[in-house]
Amino acid sequence: MKEINLLSLIQAYKNLDESLYKKYIEYLKITPKKQELKDIECLIKTLQSIDCNIALYDNYFLGYTIPQISKEFDLLRFGENYNVNIELKSKNIGEERIKKQLSKNKYYLDFLNKKIFNFTFLSDENKFYKVDSNSNLIEVKFTELIKVLKNQKLEKTLDINSKFTPSSYLVSPFNSTNKFIKSEYFLTLQQEDFKKKALNIINKNGTSFLSICGKAGTGKTLLIFDIAKECINQNIKTLTVHCGGLNEGHNKLIRNQGWKIIPIKSIKYQDCSIYDLIIIDEAQRIRISQLNSIINQIRENNGTCIFSYDMTQCLTKKEIDNNIDEYLTKKTEHQKFNLTNKVRTNREIAHFTTGLFNKAKFLSKIEISNVQINYFENLEDAVNFIKVLKLNNWKVINYTPSTVHTHPYEKFSLTEEDNTHQVIGQEFDNVVAVIDSHFYYKNTGELSTKNYIDKPYYLTNKMLYQIMTRARKKLNIVIIDNKEVMEQCLSILKPNLHESSFVE
């Protein structure tokens, strides 16, 4: 997307023939709607009646959408001293909706760490509005807007996407619990749509089963916890069941907010009949006997149950064989919501992860700067390096140890660090993933493991996937004595060979 001059755009729209105009907007990489163009023309005419300075209309981004979260801005103008956002409306949509949109825009633009001027222009009224410091919607004189535009020290922006990091906008109930409690976040359009439909079902009488599924980074956890918060505020008795151990975020919601959250192992002691809504998080890990018990109690009490799961996050063969998604389809008439828009997932890390786990998949070459590779032949050196990464604020996640056998990956585990089961549903900015000599590629191209004296109960390749998909911003792959995996990593990162290092 290129910066545009609004006056130039309108004159091109009104004077070029259709085919030439189409080529022009393709060059600008924009797709303006006819009503937007009418609104912009109205805006320009009003400003020109006061000030004819053509620079007022320069350096705008039109219709920019933040990747992955579908948040769109009508007009954005970046400056060294402050940024300007103008939303275009053909008619008055109501004070509350205008305030909500301006507040939402401020939330997203605040991450740029600059002062923001947010305005809404109503073309039918030919008026500008803003939200003041007391959260009141007030009218703005055109002279004030002109002053803001003239005093802005324009910043040349070559790549607008570089300003926005989609993962920054996803608040985790576990890792950003205070922000979650204070509702300092917004849902994506898809999440809002699913939430509205889920609440409609919950508020109806009768037994209901819902499933919210999606891969890592699509915002399942935030959505189901937001639904839980909304229901609790409506005095709907809500029980949240986590299919794993509770983390600090869970405990904070229990202690400070009075939420009822239990680990799945405690479900057999729980009287589910007293709850209107039961939410099962990480349901791909639930046992069939536990699931059947919950389904039966929901039916007996005409309650509602929401299952949240990701079938790619199964950690044992038993969990894979149980196939909760298929089982729910057979045993319940569940309404399924499939989250598809990845918010937390870093595009580069996701691209790398796909190529690492299946070398047979064709991947287009992209620049990957958020993945680092370090090779060690010596285990002791690798462990010392991992300790250094920990000191430099990298999150080290151990493979979950066996309660029966000692497995090779325990040799490079760090004491007191979380294991894969303890970080389920959580996210971290910078994550370390260790790959040792037991990993290899099958003839199908899939990444697997071999040569364990005692076969691990928890699938090592699945644990690696769990570790890697916890990363929000950066991933550091530490390879120990595995040239096959090293070669595959470098083939994915070919444009960035300088990022890799070898240590003998």
Nearest to 474 by CA among 362, 381, 352: 352
Nearest to 357 by CA among 440, 425, 447, 234: 447
CA 338, 341, 343, 348 dihedral sign is positive
Tokens of 152: 């802005």
Say if CB 174 and CB 121 are below 8 A apart: no
Q: What is the pLDDT of residue 343?
A: 64
Give the span between the Cα atoms of 209 and 103, in whole angstroms.
34
Total Cβ atoms within 10 A of residue 327: 16
Domain boundaries, the chain: 6-166, 177-339, 347-493
CA 196 to chain centre: 19
Equal fold, 6-166 vs 347-493: no
Total Cβ atoms within 10 A of residue 381: 13
Nearest to 482 by CA among 460, 456, 467, 453: 460
Nearest to 35 by CA among 124, 142, 146: 124
Nearest to 216 by CA among 492, 449, 489, 472: 472
Q: What is the pLDDT of residue 149?
A: 95
Stated length of the chain: 504
From residue 432, give the alpha-carbon distance in Å to each of 145, 257, 317, 429: 48, 33, 25, 10
Give the span between the Cα atoms of 239 and 245, in whole angstroms.
16
Q: How many helices (H) and strands (E) does the chain have?
A: 16, 19
Q: What is the CATH number of domain 347-493?
A: 3.40.50
Name the CATH topology of 177-339. Answer: Rossmann fold (3.40.50)
Tokens of 121: 């222009």
End-to-end, the C-alpha distance of the chain in Å comes to: 45
- pLDDT tens per residue across all 504 residues of the chain: 899 999 999 999 999 999 999 999 999 999 999 999 999 999 999 899 898 888 899 999 999 988 777 789 999 999 999 999 999 999 888 889 999 899 989 988 998 999 999 999 999 999 999 998 888 999 999 999 999 999 999 998 778 888 887 767 778 899 889 989 998 888 888 899 999 999 999 998 789 999 999 988 788 999 999 999 999 999 999 999 999 889 999 999 999 999 999 999 999 999 999 999 999 999 999 999 999 999 999 999 999 999 999 999 899 999 999 999 999 999 998 899 999 866 656 778 888 999 999 988 867 777 788 899 999 999 999 999 999 999 999 999 999 999 889 999 999 999 989 999 999 888 898 999 999 999 999 999 999 999 999 999 999 999 999 999 999 889 999 999 999 999 999 989 875 444 444 444
DSSP 348-409: HHHHHHHHHHBTTS--------SEEEEEES-HHHHHHHHHHHHHTTPEE-BPPPPSS---GG
From residue 334, give the alpha-carbon distance in Å to each of 82, 88, 288, 316: 49, 40, 16, 25
Write phi, then psi, for 467 (nearest 5 degrees): -65, -50
Please name the helix (run of DSSP H) or strand (run of DSSP E) that holds residue 154, with its range, or none.
none
Q: Give the position of tokens 């085919």.
A: 19
Give the span between the Cα atoms of 413 and 499, in whole angstroms.
25
From residue 90, give the alpha-carbon distance in Å to each of 49, 93, 122, 123, 136: 20, 9, 6, 5, 21
Total Cβ atoms within 10 A of residue 43: 22
Say if CB 355 and CB 361 are below 8 A apart: yes
Letter for the amino acid at 181? I
Burial class from Cβ neighbours inside 10 Å (0-12, 13-18, 19+) for residue 484 reads middle
Q: What is the pLDDT of residue 497?
A: 43
Give the span between the Cα atoms of 59 and 76, in whole angstroms.
9
Q: What is the pLDDT of residue 501?
A: 42
Give the span between the Cα atoms of 76 and 68, in whole angstroms.
18
Letter for the amino acid at 83? N
Pick the CATH number of 6-166 from 3.40.1350, 1.10.132, 3.30.160, 3.30.460: 3.40.1350
Nearest to 461 by CA among 324, 358, 372, 331: 358
Predicted structure pTM score: 0.76
Tokens of 404: 């029966």
Nearest to 364 by CA among 464, 495, 255, 253: 495
CA 359, 365, 370, 376 dihedral sign is positive
Please name the helix (run of DSSP H) or strand (run of DSSP E) that holds residue 488, with its range, or none.
helix 483-492
CA 65, 70, 74, 75 dihedral sign is negative
Burial class from Cβ neighbours inside 10 Å (0-12, 13-18, 19+) for residue 198 reads buried
